[in-house]
Structure 1
């Protein structure tokens, strides 16, 4: 009888998961690739870059921003040096461009954070549209033109846009790319369907008016992370029909994955730490179900130690999970030009299940260190 119930639970969970992934698959494919108008939009854009200890990567981003096809007189770049302990400030100061300047956060060093840095940058802007990216990112020459055109065409209050990992052929980086591709697909699908809010702080935009109307990061400033998704949800509540996803290959922002398993788990733990702070029951329900779904194979593994029949159900779970996810992840991988990585997809499934459970649970407790800061 116990075996029957566990088998039924497994099948039910797989069916619910299949419905969820199919929904994301449909919404992802309904989202059309954006083609910007040739005409330059009449909008002044402010790019905010919160930088902490990025002396090696920041010059590459600034070079990209100085080579934009968007007219130089229509945008500014504000680098907020978040009390770096390296030469980030000096590197930014030496970069010769009239529309690039460096400032420091309004908050003192001990009280500063990425949110405080971004908010300080926004106070100094003169733009209508705020573009946010990270100091370790690379952007295409058309990035500003595309983001500004999309904003004007859609009258968007908040824009989530695609982010991609560069990578080598190591297991760690291949795993991160496949996982991140999945997250990007879910982000695009959920925003397009307006079912819950997701984005990545490496590539997003919002109007200064919307930021000020929701009182910026007030109410979410005690959480170390969430400068992207928590703010997005605040703006969504004020402008539910003006939160958009920009699906465009030329608008993809590239960044590097973590270089060690320790750093990867620390990054994802930081991302997961904001889960219980979400003021959005929709995403909490989805994340809660996904966590329970990934806990299921651990239950099956324990059961298999007492009854060999469960080994069949255990392996069936991973096979079914792969089949369910394959069409969706494959279509997103094609957009990012990473279809070749799908040959590794089945083999990283156990790793994905373990990390989802580990990070999902650990991210809700304790403190962690990020870029030399101990935070919660």
Structure 2
């Protein structure tokens, strides 16, 4: 019993320290502002992989056409990933000289790879000519000053890669509010981890990197056998080749917004896909942190379940749960202010049992590495 108490106390203290570090990292990550006099000169290529995105791709492109960035310095390349709908036709209907669609089928046949998104990005980059490559998803909508902020940050700070903020829009449903809070936490951790050097984290919906750096690390070579991780695994390669040259763009004007998954099944499949890339590359810091988070939540779930039969376990589990709620809310409050989502935090304590269950189950299934995504079963 004493050994169990020591283990639980160790996990709890370690988790509290981690949340303290994350809050500190978020606070230390400076807000970036662009001067009104700034005049960009960097040529940008926005690469958008798209599979059966007829419902979304039009809004995505419209948000790019509304950017306050010189049209002559911008090209948009949509890579149609074997779509069965009219995604490509919608892109072509815009009739803009700097917006075009290419077919992934011209480069990779169906069934030839499991890493379709990496293949689509590689094809798009190979057909582009911008100095700064920016990736986003077909269901994303960008703020009007998104490209202007990325370009200014790139020119002023000289990073080889930039991770930017992403936000989930919601329709007010329970499943989408849950995802919004969970994802907002990941975004806060991404900014904090970058500032404190606590591992590589990013999201392909808002990611930029120099063409030269991409070529120097040979793109996705060496990780192109893995279905997921186009963003994270590329960042790990960049960090290894260019230590300290990855930046985080903390600016409300640079937020990219995207809808969460519409139901619990698709949400769970998405999280398994995200979890499947963990441990697939040499990033000991993030692997250690993810292991701590998983073990803390696993032990908490085990204690609460055991507490149904033994009251002492319930007391210990309840104490750990209270500590978890308090320290996570303390970390999340400034992040929620940045994303203008402080009211969502009112739901946070009530979502904890579901959050713990999903971390434990998605982490386990992600390690096994079998999931369904975009109509494909991936192993």
Provide the TM-score with structure 2 as the length reference: 0.96
* Conservation of the 8 A alpha-carbon contact between 2:204 and 2:231: yes
After the TM superposition, list the runs of 4 or more consecutive aligned residues in structure 1 that deviate by more than 4 angstroms: none
* 1:147 alignment counterpart: 150
**What SS does the aligned partner of 1:56 have?**
coil
Aligned counterparts of 1:200 and 1:123: Cα–Cα separation in 2? 21
Aligned counterparts of 1:301 and 1:103: Cα–Cα separation in 2? 52
* 2:67 alignment counterpart: 68
Partner deviation per Cα, 1:187-223 (whole Å, 9 max, x = no partner): 0001112221000010010001111100100110011
Provide the TM-score with structure 1 as the length reference: 0.97
**What SS does the aligned partner of 1:349 have?**
helix
**What SS does the aligned partner of 2:367 have?**
coil
Q: Does 1:26 align with 2:29?
A: no
Aligned counterparts of 1:195 and 1:8: Cα–Cα separation in 2? 26
* 2:277 alignment counterpart: 274
**What SS does the aligned partner of 1:134 have?**
coil
Q: Does 1:162 align with 2:165?
A: yes
Aligned counterparts of 1:82 and 1:279: Cα–Cα separation in 2? 29
How far off its partner does 1:224 sit? 0.5
* Conservation of the 8 A alpha-carbon contact between 2:301 and 2:356: no
Q: Does 1:248 align with 2:251?
A: yes
**What SS does the aligned partner of 2:79 have?**
strand
Partner deviation per Cα, 1:34-76 (whole Å, 9 max, x = no partner): 1013312211000000111000100001111111110100110
* Conservation of the 8 A alpha-carbon contact between 1:165 and 1:177: yes
How far off its partner does 1:302 sit? 4.1
* Conservation of the 8 A alpha-carbon contact between 1:64 and 1:140: yes
Aligned counterparts of 2:297 and 2:179: Cα–Cα separation in 1? 17
Q: Does 1:213 align with 2:216?
A: yes
* 1:114 alignment counterpart: 117
**What SS does the aligned partner of 1:363 have?**
helix
Alignment RMSD: 1.1
How far off its partner does 1:241 sit? 1.7
* 1:175 alignment counterpart: 178
* 2:40 alignment counterpart: 41
* 1:79 alignment counterpart: 78
**What SS does the aligned partner of 1:374 have?**
strand
* Conservation of the 8 A alpha-carbon contact between 1:66 and 1:97: no
How far off its partner does 1:186 sit? 0.5
* 1:91 alignment counterpart: 90
**What SS does the aligned partner of 1:159 have?**
strand
User: Quick one: which of 288, 292, 295 aligns to 1:285?
Assistant: 288
Q: Does 1:50 align with 2:49?
A: yes
**What SS does the aligned partner of 1:344 have?**
helix
**What SS does the aligned partner of 1:364 have?**
helix
**What SS does the aligned partner of 1:342 have?**
helix
Aligned counterparts of 1:194 and 1:284: Cα–Cα separation in 2? 13
Aligned counterparts of 1:188 and 1:261: Cα–Cα separation in 2? 27
How far off its partner does 1:168 sit? 2.3
Aligned counterparts of 1:67 and 1:54: Cα–Cα separation in 2? 20
Aligned counterparts of 2:302 and 2:82: Cα–Cα separation in 1? 46
Aligned counterparts of 1:362 and 1:240: Cα–Cα separation in 2? 32
Partner deviation per Cα, 1:317-350 (whole Å, 9 max, x = no partner): 2111011111111110110000001111111111
Gaps of 5+ in 1: none
Aligned counterparts of 2:50 and 2:307: Cα–Cα separation in 1? 49
Question: What is the number of equivalent residue pairs in this alignment?
Answer: 374
* 1:375 alignment counterpart: 378
Partner deviation per Cα, 1:223-261 (whole Å, 9 max, x = no partner): 101100000110111111210100000100000001110
Aligned counterparts of 1:130 and 1:27: Cα–Cα separation in 2? 27
After TM superposition, the structure 1 stretch with the greater mean CA deviation from structure 2, 121-130 or 166-175, is 166-175
* Conservation of the 8 A alpha-carbon contact between 1:190 and 1:197: yes
